[in-house]
Amino acid sequence: MVRLTLIFSIALLMASCTTVEQVIENKEVYCSGMYKGVRAVGRSALSLTTGVIVPDVCDTIDAIVEEENAEEEENAEDGVTKSAK
């Protein structure tokens, strides 16, 4: 049972990483005006009903890309390169 749980967890993590990479690659789709407006309405409704504040995915994508770029620059300065995908 533990083995099955571990396998499922690894598969789920790998799938979520792929999803994040796909969203980053397709930022122009997810961050278009129409999608941003729809998400803003959903986030507002969620905030009003539950009090939970959810950041916009575009802001999150920008933060992730900035962090990755900073890491790449730091690694380049240290002479370490990222392997090709």
Between residues 63 and 6, the one the model is more confident about: 63
pLDDT tens by residue, 29-75: 878 888 888 889 999 998 999 998 888 888 888 888 888 888 888 88
Distance separating alpha carbons of residues 4 and 8, to the nearest angstrom: 6
Residue in the structure block whose two tokens are 């122009």: 28
The CA–CA distances, whole Å, from 17 to 12, 14, 32, 62, 78 equal 9, 5, 22, 16, 26
pLDDT at 1: 65
